[in-house]
Structure 1
Amino acid sequence: MFKKLLKIMPWANKDTNEFIIVQLNDKIMPLDRGDFYEEPLNEFLQKYGYGEVSGGGTMQSETGEIIFCDIEIMVYKNQSCEQIANGIIPFLEAKGVPKGSAVTIEESKEISFGKSEGLAIYLDGINLADNVYNECDPDYVLQELSMLTGNSGNLQRYWQGETETAFYFYGKSYEKMKAAITEFVSSYPLCKGARVVQIA
């Protein structure tokens, strides 16, 4: 029975299948990546018989900060990689994939995509007065900035390093998000000296 099953499932041997790699310019945590991107994408691929999500990974800097993440797609036999790529790009863009993302077909053709822009704010974790760290709450900063950038209710993206803590936000316009947080950042003590950077 197992041999018969293999005959009607020609994609079962990974050595003979083609692959698509989706690189997401998104500083999303691995578990959240699975829930937010991989599971819905796999359902989409299965629905049309295109293939399946076969893996994923996260690229980090030496400090541990996320740079980007990958999703590997195994394409079923007799399916067009380019057709599938043209299908998954609008699907992922509808989920807010940031600019600077890319789809690579069999390590040869790369297609750039993404519509959202990204803003990161890096809070100084070592140079402020002790009373600032004792009296101010980084969770409050994240909550307020999420509201101001239109990210309330969305996934929380963050990183805590040895000298800085970063919060990441995505939306239609980096400049509009930056303008929306300027007053709060300039007035809240924990944001003193914070770096605001465009990440997408």
Structure 2
Amino acid sequence: MSGLLAITLNARLRPLDRGEIFEDPLQEILDVEAPGSQVCGGGTQMAANGEPSCCDIDVELHGDQEAGLRLVVHTLESIGAPKGSTARLGDREPVSFGVAEGIGLYLNGTDLPEEVYATSDVNELISALQSRLADRGRIFSYWQGPTETALYFYGQSAATIRDLIQPVLAEHPLAQNHRLLSITPRG
């Protein structure tokens, strides 16, 4: 027996990051635990400004559909699927799942002094932020828009991520005039 499982991840991810963080590890588990089942599609939904808003993964399940649904949800949560994600098996009601909360850090890309852009490295900032977070969160993806760059961090608690990264943001030149937004629902 086979069926389509349509997953919507409440995650702001570039397609490459969606594949690397969620699809590839999910396929590895499916290969072992649900032979014949496979990730068969995916997409990224974009806001009007081109920023990712969420993403989809389609899985063709073979065998016990309920067991397959449980396996997929468990696997995605173990990777860090954000709260507010859903999985729909066929035409059934969607199942809500997710364990992570997210923070979007929006860096000003146009209004800082020119020397800041000329002498600062965003990768250095990302490394400092990741060091502060340690195992409490990590960057999943980013988006570069016309006036700002967004870095998307996910972890168990958006408040913890916010608190941990504040000292870095207060000191790093590229973090001047930044915005922080919660990007997942609480729950």
Q: TM-score, normalised by structure 2?
A: 0.86
Q: Which amino acid is the alignment partner of residue 45 of structure 2? A: M
Runs of 5+ in structure 2 lacking a partner? Answer: none
One-letter identity of the residue aligned with 2:143: W
CA distance in structure 2 between the partners assigned to 1:134 and 1:198 by the alignment: 29
In the alignment, residue 59 of structure 1 is paired with which amino acid?
A: Q
Matched residue type, 1:141: L
Asked whether 1:87 is paired with 2:71, we answer yes
Q: Is the 8 A contact 1:133 1:190 kept in 2?
A: yes
Once residues 177 and 77 of structure 2 are traced to their aligned partners in structure 1, the CA distance between those partners, rounded to angstroms, is 34
Give the 3-state SS of the residue equivalent to 1:99 in structure 2.
coil
Change (3 A) 1:107 1:60: farther
Q: Report what 1:35 is aligned to.
A: 20
- For the Cα contact (< 8 Å) 1:125–1:164, is it kept in 2? yes
Distance in 2 of aligned mates of 1:60 and 1:149: 28
Query: Aligned with 2:69: secondary structure?
Result: helix
Any conservation in 2 of the 1:148–1:177 contact (CA below 8 Å)? no
Q: Which residue of 1 aligns with 2:95?
A: 111
RMSD between aligned alpha carbons? 2.3
Is the CA contact (8 Å cut-off) linking 1:121 and 1:166 kept in structure 2?
Answer: yes
Helix, strand or coil: the match of 1:149?
helix
1:74 matches 2:60: yes
* Range that drifts further, 110-119 or 42-51: 42-51
Distance 2:167 2:17 in 1: 30
Q: CA deviation at 1:93?
A: 0.9
Counterpart of 2:51, as a letter, is: E
Q: Deviations over 1:16-35 (max 9, x none)?
A: x5211111122232223223
In the TM superposition, residue 165 of structure 1 has moved relative to its aligned partner by 0.6
Other-structure match for 1:61:
47
Structure 1 residue identity aligned to 2:25 = P
Distance in 1 between the 2:145 and 2:98 partners? 27
Distance across 2 between alignment mates of 1:73 and 1:59: 18
Contact 1:149 1:171 in 2 (8 A): no
**Aligned pair count?**
183
Q: How far apart in 1 are the matches of 2:61 and 2:140?
A: 31
1:101 matches 2:85: yes
1:69-124 deviation digits (Å, cap 9, x = unpaired): 11111123xx3433321221111111111111111121431111111111110011
> Which segments of structure 1 move beyond 3 Å, counting only runs of 4 or more?
none
The percent of aligned pairs where both chains have the same amino acid is 34
Q: Is the 8 A contact 1:50 1:84 kept in 2?
A: no
Q: Look up the SS of the partner of 1:127 in the other structure.
A: coil
Bigger Rg over Cα: 1
Counterpart in the other structure of 1:190: 174
Superposition deviation, residue 51 in structure 1:
2.2
Question: Residue type matched to 1:114 in 2?
Answer: G
Contact residue 133 and residue 161 of structure 2 kept, 8 A: yes
Please say if residues 117 and 170 of structure 1, whose CA atoms lie closer than 8 Å, have aligned partners that are also in contact.
yes
1:178 corresponds to which letter in structure 2?
R
